[in-house]
């Protein structure tokens, strides 16, 4: 349940002259949804129509920013992608949209061309746009027509350009018994034409996250650009003999493979599938010649836990990567490892740092690694000295959710609890932080948000625990407000100072609610011991923290009306909502449960990633059944009494639909006021614009119904 996915939905709106860098729209404002232009509290309609910025890519000379945009076509109920480029040489430069319906921008090594992925006839292909260089730099607006450089029969899943720009790594989903991409396409076509719809499975995964297995594997290929700049229809397979996905499914990306500086070697990570794939986290790092002349070689076979995200040093002598130490535990701490490629010797660079880094990059001189990590309610950018492992925070408050490095400059994608993602530049030393885009500024000027504050209290065993409170939009001192008590998922996650398009506290603040949330034992960003402490104790220490945090918030913030409060949670937060329905239901006027675990026993046999259940419960259910019953919400239905809204989606294979249906059946049979909202086309998250609006409208109506003043209820 831990992994998260950032889902982008960007709408380009006209801005004031002071924000000239953001005036180039991706799509017209859709009139199928009404946006308020007068001052008003922030709401879900503002949320779904916001511009969303992602995937920052800095040109090799550090002057130009390429990035992804996504607008919302509300009438069509979908997002619309685009690629934009911005000249960073001075403020006020206009944004140029170079490709619509495109994603994954990457600069060519010479900085004069930009590659991206866009569909042709329904197949994702690689494209290149060439810019004309003049005395004053690239002419972004008057670029040459884009060129389609790949003509394969399958979708490009991910890609990465070689250091010299003469070749490219390509990931395709193929049948591994096929020798060509055309063979896979022919098999797919035959399946589509077959009138029989049955599928025979001989091993797990049968389905994963939100997709049924079709027998294909993501495999890694190398394509060489011809003299005409085009790729061959059949590239060279590099992952020969690898029974696994490169990149990994369902959320892997191009950070899972890399070229050596000279382009002769490719490094990638993969979990060998076999029979044990659903209960294994044993990823390993492999190397393979980029010409495909030899089979891949495992470089980390001795570690049975997770090794991934290879980053070669600029001199080619060292391979840095991230590694866990506990097999089968997806939330173990990632340590930064250094592998001497000549001797094979390995050591941990940062053993003294009790955080779990990700998103690793390296400076041109090889002396500094850049990473991000959860850290006490924030998600900053850090610099790590490769020689001594010393860690220094470069950019602090809020969340850095992506970055790109060129020379002495960094381009950041950054957000916080009151601002969605925008682009910033900062020096490699962390100085001169400057915001360079201001998407959504006009919208947020009129959409009032709530201020927030972190607080710390004594939780389980008097250990310090952090939470935060968000005031209602248009807060007035002296008034009391109903409360939305949000319980985060994961469970190894955290509610941080970051913007979200799901479970965004500002959507509740805009409805007149105060928000309280607690980063209970098990949350990330407070040290690995704190994170580990929830395993085997889902209903213990975290519940104690929630109780103590709720009381601490009531004692500290007089505007919280403890008599008009509802608790809400999703995933693990949904488990906790079902758990407190029978264990700690006294404070709550209502509950909202989204895709939660209702029956811990059946959850083991119905979910897909068994490693998660087995680690959290100390083994398979058939070996340790008592562990699965220790905190099973189903066993306490007799004590349920609080009105509950249950939300569960049909394509959620992580926590299947029967969990929500079972809970709703229990509520109805007990005669407890309850409603059930289901989305047959959504997964663990509700992503489609119309569905998101319906979700928020339904949840908000439920909260208001049960937290209304007595006079209003009467």
Q: Which of 379, 651, 684, 696 is catalytic?
A: 684
Our answer to whether residue 571 is catalytic in this structure is: yes
Q: Which of 71, 571, 674, 692 is catalytic?
A: 571
Our answer to whether residue 208 is catalytic in this structure is: no
* 157 and 218 Cβ atoms separated by less than 8 Å: yes
* 402 and 54 Cβ atoms separated by less than 8 Å: yes
Q: How far apart are CA 123 and CA 116, in angstroms?
A: 14
Q: What does residue 22 show for φ and ψ, rounded to 5 degrees?
A: -120, 25
* 577 and 489 Cβ atoms separated by less than 8 Å: no
3-state secondary structure of 639: helix
* 217 and 174 Cβ atoms separated by less than 8 Å: yes
- The beta strand positions in 40-178, using DSSP E, are 40-41, 52-58, 64-73, 78-87, 95-100, 103-107, 113-120, 123-130, 132-134, 137-139, 147-148, 158-161, 167-174
Residue 125 neighbours by CB under 8 Å, 6+ apart = 117, 118, 119, 148, 149, 150, 151, 152, 156
Q: How far apart are CA 457 and CA 471, in angstroms?
A: 19
Half-sphere exposure of 34 (CA within 13 A, CB side): 3
Q: Sign (positive/negative) of CA torsion 88, 90, 91, 93? A: negative
Question: 54: which strand partners?
Answer: 68
Q: Which of 652, 674, 692, 696 is catalytic?
A: 652
Q: How far apart are CA 445 and CA 497, in angstroms?
A: 20
Element (H, E) at 605: helix 600-606
Q: What does each C-alpha distance from 331 to 1, 3, 150, 256, 323 come to in angstroms?
A: 10, 9, 38, 18, 11
How would DSSP label each residue in 308-359? EEEEE-TTSSEEEEEE-SSTT-TTSPPEEEEEETTT--EEES-TT--S--EE
Residue 135 neighbours by CB under 8 Å, 6+ apart = none
Q: What does each C-alpha distance from 511 to 38, 48, 89, 567, 712 come to in angstroms?
A: 16, 16, 42, 16, 16
Pairing label, strands 514-519, 481-487: parallel
Our answer to whether residue 594 is catalytic in this structure is: no
* 43 and 511 Cβ atoms separated by less than 8 Å: yes
Residue 254 neighbours by CB under 8 Å, 6+ apart = 104, 158, 159, 160, 169, 171, 247
Residues serving a catalytic function are 571, 652, 684
């Amino acid at each position: 349940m831990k992994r998260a996915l950032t889902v982008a939905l960007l709408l380009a709106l006209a801005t004031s002259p002071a924000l000239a860098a953001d005036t180039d729209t991706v799509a017209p404002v859709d009139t199928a949804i009404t946006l308020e232009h007068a001052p008003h509290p922030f709401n879900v309609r503002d949320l779904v129509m916001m511009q969303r910025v992602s995937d920052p890519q800095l040109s090799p000379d550090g002057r130009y920013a390429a990035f992804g945009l996504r607008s919302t076509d509300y009438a069509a109920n979908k997002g619309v992608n685009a690629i934009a480029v911005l000249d960073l040489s001075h403020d006020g430069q206009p944004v140029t949209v170079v490709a619509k319906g495109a994603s994954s921008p990457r600069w060519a090594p010479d900085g004069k061309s930009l590659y991206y992925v866009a569909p042709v006839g329904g197949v994702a292909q690689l494209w290149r746009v060439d810019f004309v260089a003049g005395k004053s730099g690239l002419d972004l607006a008057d670029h040459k027509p884009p060129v389609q450089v790949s003509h394969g029969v399958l979708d490009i899943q991910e890609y990465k350009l070689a250091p010299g720009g003469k070749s490219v790594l390509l990931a395709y989903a193929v049948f591994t018994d096929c020798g060509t991409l055309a063979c896979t396409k022919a098999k797919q076509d035959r399946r589509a034409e077959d009138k029989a719809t049955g599928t025979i499975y001989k091993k797990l995964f049968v389905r994963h996250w939100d997709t049924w297995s079709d027998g294909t594997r993501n495999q890694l290929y190398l394509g060489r650009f011809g003299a005409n700049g085009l790729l061959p229809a059949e590239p060279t397979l590099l992952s020969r003999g690898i029974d696994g996905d490169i990149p990994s499914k369902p959320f892997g990306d191009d950070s899972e493979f890399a070229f050596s500086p000279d382009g002769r070697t490719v490094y990638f990570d993969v979990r060998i599938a076999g029979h044990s794939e659903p209960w294994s986290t044993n990823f390993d790092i492999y190397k393979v010649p980029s010409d495909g002349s030899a089979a891949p070689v495992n470089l980390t076979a001795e570690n049975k836990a997770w090794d991934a995200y290879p980053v070669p040093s600029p001199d080619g002598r060292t391979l840095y990567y991230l590694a866990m130490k506990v097999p089968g535990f997806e939330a173990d701490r990632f340590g930064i490892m250094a592998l001497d490629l000549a001797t094979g010797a390995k050591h941990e660079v940062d053993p003294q740092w009790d955080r779990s880094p990700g998103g690793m990059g390296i400076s041109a001189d090889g002396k500094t690694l850049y990473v991000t990590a959860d850290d006490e309610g924030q998600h900053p950018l850090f610099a790590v000295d490769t020689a001594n492992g010393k860690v220094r925070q470069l950019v602090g408050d809020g969340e850095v959710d992506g970055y790109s490095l060129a020379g002495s400059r960094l381009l950041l994608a950054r957000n916080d609890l009151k601002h969605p993602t925008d682009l910033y530049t900062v020096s490699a030393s962390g100085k001169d932080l400057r915001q360079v885009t201001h998407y959504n500024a006009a919208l947020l000027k009129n959409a009032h948000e709530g201020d927030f504050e972190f607080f710390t209290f004594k939780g389980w065993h008097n250990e310090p625990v952090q939470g935060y409170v968000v005031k209602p939009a248009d807060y007035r001192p002296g008034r009391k407000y109903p409360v939305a008590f949000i319980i985060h998922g994961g469970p190894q996650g955290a509610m941080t100072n970051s913007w979200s398009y799901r479970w965004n506290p500002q959507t509740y603040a805009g409805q007149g609610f105060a928000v309280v949330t607690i980063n209970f034992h098990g949350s990330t960003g407070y040290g690995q011991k704190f994170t580990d402490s929830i395993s085997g104790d889902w209903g213990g220490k975290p519940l104690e923290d929630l109780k103590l945090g709720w009381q601490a918030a009531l004692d500290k913030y007089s505007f919280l009306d403890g008599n008009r409060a509802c608790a809400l949670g999703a995933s693990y937060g949904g488990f906790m909502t079902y758990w407190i329905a029978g264990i700690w239901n006294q404070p709550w006027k209502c509950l909202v449960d989204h895709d939660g675990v209702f029956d811990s026993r059946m959850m083991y046999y119905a979910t897909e990633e068994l490693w998660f259940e087995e680690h959290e419960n100390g083994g398979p259910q058939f070996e340790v059944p008592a562990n699965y019953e220790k905190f099973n919400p189903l066993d306490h239905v007799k004590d349920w009494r609080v009105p509950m809204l249950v939300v569960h989606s049909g394509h959620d294979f992580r926590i299947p639909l029967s969990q929500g249906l079972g809970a709703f059946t229990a509520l109805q049979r007990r005669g407890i006021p309850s409603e059930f909202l289901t989305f047959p086309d959504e997964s663990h998250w509700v992503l489609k614009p119309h569905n998101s609006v319906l979700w928020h409208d339904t949840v908000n109506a439920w909260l208001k119904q049960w937290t209304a003043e007595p006079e209003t209820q009467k």
